Structure 1
Amino acid sequence: MALRAEYEIGCDALPLVDVAASVPDADIELAISPGMSERPRFTAHVRGSDETVAAVEAEFQRTPFVGEYTLVVRDDEASRYSIRPGTSMAEQLGDHLDDLDDLRALYETPTHIERIRATPTGWVQSGRFADRAAFDELRTFWQRNVPFRLRKLTRVGDDADDRFAGAGGDSNGDSLTGPQHDAVRTAYEMGYFEIPRTASLEDVAAELGISASSCSERLRRAQTHLVETHVEAEPRPVEQSR
């Protein structure tokens, strides 16, 4: 089953993250030319006020990543630039990733990156994956190297509106019920699943407007459903009587 995912990659060494940090009002979307050469050409769509766009151009001249940039078109929607990198992949990311060959291999798998947005802390990417294994390979690589946060994972197909990793609606297939999804998402965003926790069960329940016992039940049911759906079960050992 093909999947579409949206996720955050927390790495300030990624291209143009420093520009986004210097001009936080700018909306910067990127596209990378096909192939994973050492210096692939980038296209940047910059949205914002005239002052914001001018500030981005000034940062283009400062950041080592931009060796040369050309304004392709400017209209009411966005200013589009073609960027020739001034640094190689190894120079840009080598100190932050454990294996650049693994990164190159990732984008030779059945993966299509549909959208990249540079933010002050990293990239937000949206992509289409041939199956769960292709997505898990990408997720595992980034989690091994930098902070990674999954925003949304959906199936692509006849039931494309159904969430793969939990959503509102019914509980058919892989999806959670609406209340279960809200509970898991709220708990995640508040830090309930962090180590150590930054929010208690009571905090999550108060945010949802329910009792702590109801919140606990929703989270347990959701976790049980996700494990049963996405984790291959192994036979349980038979306990020997003593």
Structure 2
Amino acid sequence: MGLVAEFEIHCEALPLVEVAEAAPAAAIEVEIQFNHGNRPPFIVHVTHDSPDAVERALESSSFVATYTVLGQAGETRRYQVIPAVGIVEQLGDHVDLSGLRALATTDSSIDRIRATPTGWIQTGWFADRDAFHEFRRFWQKNAGFTLRRLGRVGEPEEPGDGLTDPQREALRTAYEMGHYRIPRAASLEAVADELEISPSSLSERLRRAQTHLIETTVASIWPPLPE
């Protein structure tokens, strides 16, 4: 039976990391259209209460040639990003290119990529432990690698798996204090005081936690077009 793994790749040269660094409150999900030549387009889903910071970052990114807004659902915008350089050229000064090309032949499939200010968080399926170890060894040698979750394909995930401890604490405290009740019983400021952090930090922490929970439950079902 195959393996499914969630892990962090710590490499600031990865595409769109500089965009995530410029807009740290945004959740940035990436799909790569590999069947489009040496510079495959990226489909980028950005969840943020204001798109201005993200679009300024896209405009100033050395990786981005052009971008187009494809649509919006709630606070999530979908962009098509046309790269100015290919992925190999982008990473050429930072990783072993022969090893990078070899990864394409491993028995694996990456089905989720999130850009962060320090690299990518990925979820992938691997045919066996050897395929996973080959992938892990490459990134340990060339950048940095942190395993977040590893299990057999088909095993159920534990509830809330993938949340950080601060995110889980923020969600639990906000819920227990009544922040999510209708009408709301506790303001963002009151919950932040309880946690002894700033309201802006709490807002970002809750947004990241909520985004993760949505991504792992309903975000894959894009809203249907209107009749």
The TM-score normalised by the length of structure 1 is: 0.62
Query: Structure 1: how far apart are the matches of 2:31 and 2:129?
Result: 24
Q: What secondary structure is seen at the aligned counterpart in 2 of 1:70?
A: strand
Amino acid at match of 1:55: A
Q: What secondary structure is seen at the aligned counterpart in 2 of 1:153?
A: strand
Bigger Rg over Cα: 1
Retained in 2: the 8 A contact 1:30–1:117? yes
Query: Structure 1: how far apart are the matches of 2:130 and 2:75?
Result: 37
1:215 matched residue in structure 2: none
Deviation at 1:162, TM superposition (A): 7.7
Deviation at 1:108, TM superposition (A): 2.9
Query: Structure 1: how far apart are the matches of 2:35 and 2:118?
Result: 25
1:109 matched to 2:106? The reply is yes
Deviation at 1:37, TM superposition (A): 4.5
Retained in 1: the 8 A contact 2:9–2:139? yes
Summarize the Cα distance change of 1:130–1:36 in structure 2 as closer, same or farther, 3 Å threshold: farther
1:123 matched residue in structure 2: 120
1:71 matched residue in structure 2: 69
How many percent of aligned residue pairs carry the same amino acid? 50
1:145 matched residue in structure 2: 142
2:31 matched residue in structure 1: 31
1:146-202 superposed Cα distances (whole Å, 9 cap, x missing partner): 111111101013xx1389xxx9xxxxxxxxxxxxxxxxxxxxxxxxxxxxxxxxxxx
Amino acid at match of 1:155: R
Q: What secondary structure is seen at the aligned counterpart in 1 of 2:102?
A: helix
Retained in 2: the 8 A contact 1:30–1:115? yes
Structural mapping, 1:56-205, within 5 Å? 56-98=54-96, 100-157=97-154, 160-161=155-156
- Structure 1 residues not aligned, in runs of 5+: 168-242
Q: Which moved more, 1:75-84 or 1:55-64?
A: 75-84
Retained in 2: the 8 A contact 1:36–1:107? no
Query: Structure 2: how far apart are the matches of 1:42 and 1:96?
Result: 21
> Over the residues paired in the alignment, what is the CA RMSD in angstroms?
1.9
Spell out structure 1 runs of 4+ moving beyond 4 A: none
Q: How many residues align?
A: 159
Deviation at 1:117, TM superposition (A): 0.5
- Structure 2 residues not aligned, in runs of 5+: 162-227
Which protein, 1 or 2, shows the higher relative CO under an 8 Å CA cutoff with sep ≥ 6? 2
1:59-101 superposed Cα distances (whole Å, 9 cap, x missing partner): 1110011111111111215100111100122331111102x23
1:129-158 superposed Cα distances (whole Å, 9 cap, x missing partner): 11111111110111110111111101013x
1:55 matched residue in structure 2: 53
